[in-house]
């Protein structure tokens, strides 16, 4: 710098105000540290190298761009006390999701059926949602869905049934002996069972008439609730019906591969926890909480080999789906036609649009029903995405709630003197 430049700088600096005093609550030491922090950037710590090369590469990239990354090893570390690979597999009680369970007996000439249902009763003038599970499942497959539905509609009631041969529903011979497989699982019988369960509950509770209802069926439950609505066996109380991830065309195609699928499933499990684990690892169920609720009801413990001691052997499937093969076509034949013809609002929730058959595609273009697609869900839509499913079903109820309709006055009423 030249002498002329130095002289010019001194003149300018002399004219600047003096340095302001320090704030009273800042000590000299603190101010010195503050100056150090602003004057000199501290070096970033070197990121830890992950065991695999891809993680090491990404760490190097983050360091070169000046991005601070949390230690991935600690970010995804399991809580203390859990061994690696362990996760919660203990069953969850149904009482966390329903308030009551009912055993409803009906006597037929050739058998007695004790229908079982998980229930939460509706409030005053609240709607009732009647839920029916799919083949091999149980009423607890709707547990999380029911809880979410009650959040959206606190005044509603829920009845989630166990079909015969499933869950806790029992069929007895005229002599009082419990029937085993094979059960009569024809569509007419299952449809009649659902109607009987609702009417038996009405009689048990002393309801003079049925509340407004929405029927919801998953998989096999879809044809059952559709058949009930189509036949009108529950009268005008049915506002509408919802079918979850089943249509006639794709169901009939899938039946050709059903035996192959059943052959890949384990025949037994050493424990309930291992059954829950298989359902989540195989992605049969994508919601581990729902698996902990519903899977225990799908299994029963056999006696120890060579003995009659109860509850000592492996756990087996409660419902042997392979013995129901001769009913498979009966369940789904005519489903699309009935779905479009039955009275009431219609809702179809699918895991993919590829499941639509020709009749339903035409019906959708004509606006005959409401279609919702959950591409991220598996087949068990109400278990994989219970909150989203409940939201759609609650909205469907609001759309079809007759009690909310306000009709305009008739022309004759408008012409009366008091309206002039």
> 245 an active-site residue?
yes
User: Which pLDDT belongs to residue 253?
Assistant: 85
Q: 110 or 49: which carries more pLDDT confidence?
A: 110
Q: Which residues contact 356 (CB under 8 A, 6 or more apart)?
A: 247, 249, 350, 364, 371
Catalytic residue among 138, 141, 191, 219: 219
d(C-alpha 210, C-alpha 212), whole Å: 7
Residue 81's pLDDT band (cuts 50, 70, 90): very low
Distances (CA, A) of 356 to 107, 204, 250, 360, 364: 40, 40, 7, 6, 9
Residues 237-261, mean pLDDT to the nearest whole number: 92
pLDDT at position 10 over 60: no
Catalytic residue among 162, 192, 379, 384: 379
Distances (CA, A) of 231 to 242, 334, 374: 16, 13, 29
d(C-alpha 46, C-alpha 63), whole Å: 8
DSSP 166: S
User: Which pLDDT belongs to residue 355?
Assistant: 72
Q: Which two tokens mark 282? A: 């195989």
User: Which pLDDT belongs to residue 406?
Assistant: 59
pTM attached to this predicted model = 0.76
Residues 256-264, mean pLDDT to the nearest whole number: 89
User: Which pLDDT belongs to residue 7?
Assistant: 55
Residues 275-282, mean pLDDT to the nearest whole number: 96
Burial-class residue 313 by CB neighbours within 10 Å (0-12, 13-18, 19+): middle
The residue to which tokens 């029927």 are assigned = 215
Q: Which two tokens mark 231? A: 């036949």
pLDDT at position 82 over 80: no
One-character DSSP codes across 7-48:
HHHHHHHHTSPPPPPPPTT--HHHHHHHHHHHHSPPPPPPPP
d(C-alpha 271, C-alpha 285), whole Å: 18
d(C-alpha 382, C-alpha 385), whole Å: 6
Distances (CA, A) of 34 to 22, 38, 41: 12, 6, 12
Give the residue from 332, 360, 328 showing the smallest Cα distance to 346. Answer: 360
User: Which pLDDT belongs to residue 37?
Assistant: 42
* Start-to-end CA span in the chain (Å): 99
Catalytic residue among 162, 193, 227, 245: 245
d(C-alpha 291, C-alpha 144), whole Å: 10
pLDDT at position 34 over 50: no
Q: Which two tokens mark 119? A: 């229930």
Dump pLDDT digits (tens) for 305-331: 665 666 678 999 999 999 999 999 999
d(C-alpha 31, C-alpha 39), whole Å: 12
d(C-alpha 100, C-alpha 351), whole Å: 31
Contact between 196 and 106 under an 8 Å Cβ cutoff? The reply is yes
> 219 an active-site residue?
yes
The mean of the pLDDT values for the chain is: 82
pLDDT at position 194 over 90: yes
pLDDT at position 162 over 90: yes
Residue 401's pLDDT band (cuts 50, 70, 90): very high
Give the 3-state secondary structure of residue 157: strand
User: Which pLDDT belongs to residue 179?
Assistant: 87
Dump pLDDT digits (tens) for 328-380: 999 999 999 999 999 999 999 999 877 788 899 999 999 999 999 999 999 99
The residue to which tokens 């499937």 are assigned = 317
Within a 10 A sphere around the Cβ of 117, how many other Cβ atoms? Answer: 26
Residues 158-172, mean pLDDT to the nearest whole number: 97
User: Which pLDDT belongs to residue 365?
Assistant: 94
Q: By percentage, how much of the chain surpasses pLDDT 90? A: 65
Dump pLDDT digits (tens) for 181-192: 888 999 999 999
User: Which pLDDT belongs to residue 70?
Assistant: 37
User: Which pLDDT belongs to residue 61?
Assistant: 35
Residue 3's pLDDT band (cuts 50, 70, 90): low
d(C-alpha 334, C-alpha 344), whole Å: 18
Torsion angles phi and psi, residue 304, rounded to 5: -60, 140
Dump pLDDT digits (tens) for 102-151: 999 999 999 999 999 999 999 999 999 999 999 999 999 999 999 999 99
One-character DSSP codes across 204-266:
HHT-SSPPPEEEEEETTHHHHHHHHHHHTTTGGGEEEEEEES--HHHHHHHHTTHHHHHHHS-
């Amino acid at each position: 710098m030249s002498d002329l430049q130095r002289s010019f700088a001194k003149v300018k600096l002399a004219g600047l105000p003096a340095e302001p005093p320090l704030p009273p609550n800042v000590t000299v030491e603190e101010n010195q540290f503050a100056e150090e922090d602003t004057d000199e950037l501290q070096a970033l710590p070197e990121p830890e190298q992950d065991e695999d090369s891809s993680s090491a590469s990404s760490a190097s990239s983050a360091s070169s761009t000046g991005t601070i990354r949390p230690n991935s090893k600690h970010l995804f570390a399991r809580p203390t006390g859990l061994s690696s690979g362990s996760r919660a597999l203990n069953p969850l009680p149904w009482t966390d999701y329903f308030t009551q369970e009912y055993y409803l007996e009906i006597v037929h000439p050739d058998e007695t059926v004790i229908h079982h249902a998980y229930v939460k009763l509706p409030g005053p003038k609240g709607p009732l949602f009647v839920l029916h599970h799919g083949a091999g499942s149980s009423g607890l497959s709707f547990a999380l869905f029911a809880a979410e539905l009650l959040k959206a509609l606190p005044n509603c009631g829920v009845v989630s049934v166990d079909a015969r041969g499933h869950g806790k529903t029992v069929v007895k011979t005229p002599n009082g002996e419990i029937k085993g497989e094979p059960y009569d699982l024809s569509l007419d019988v299952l449809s009649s069972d659902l109607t009987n369960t609702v009417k038996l509950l009405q009689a048990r509770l002393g309801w003079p008439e049925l509340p407004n209802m929405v029927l919801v069926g998953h998989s096999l439950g879809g044809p059952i609730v559709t058949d009930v609505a189509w036949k009108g066996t529950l009268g005008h109380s049915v506002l509408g019906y919802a079918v979850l991830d089943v249509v006639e065309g794709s169901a009939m195609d899938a039946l050709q591969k059903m035996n192959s699928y059943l052959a890949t499933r384990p025949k037994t499990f050493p424990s309930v926890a291992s059954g829950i684990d298989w359902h989540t690892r195989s992605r049969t169920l994508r919601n581990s909480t729902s698996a902990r609720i519903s899977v225990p009801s799908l299994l029963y413990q056999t006696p120890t080999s060579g003995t009659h001691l109860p509850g000592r052997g492996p756990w087996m499937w409660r419902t042997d789906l392979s013995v129901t093969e001769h009913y498979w076509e009966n369940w789904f034949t005519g489903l699309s036609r009935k779905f479009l013809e039955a009275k009431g609002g219609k809702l179809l929730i699918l895991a993919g649009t590829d499941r639509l058959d020709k009749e339903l595609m035409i019906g959708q273009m004509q606006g005959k029903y409401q279609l919702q697609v959950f591409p991220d869900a598996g087949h068990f839509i109400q278990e994989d995405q219970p909150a989203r499913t409940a939201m759609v079903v609650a909205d469907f109820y609001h759309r079809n709630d007759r009690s909310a309709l306000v009709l305009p006055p008739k022309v004759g009423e408008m012409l009366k003197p008091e309206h002039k």
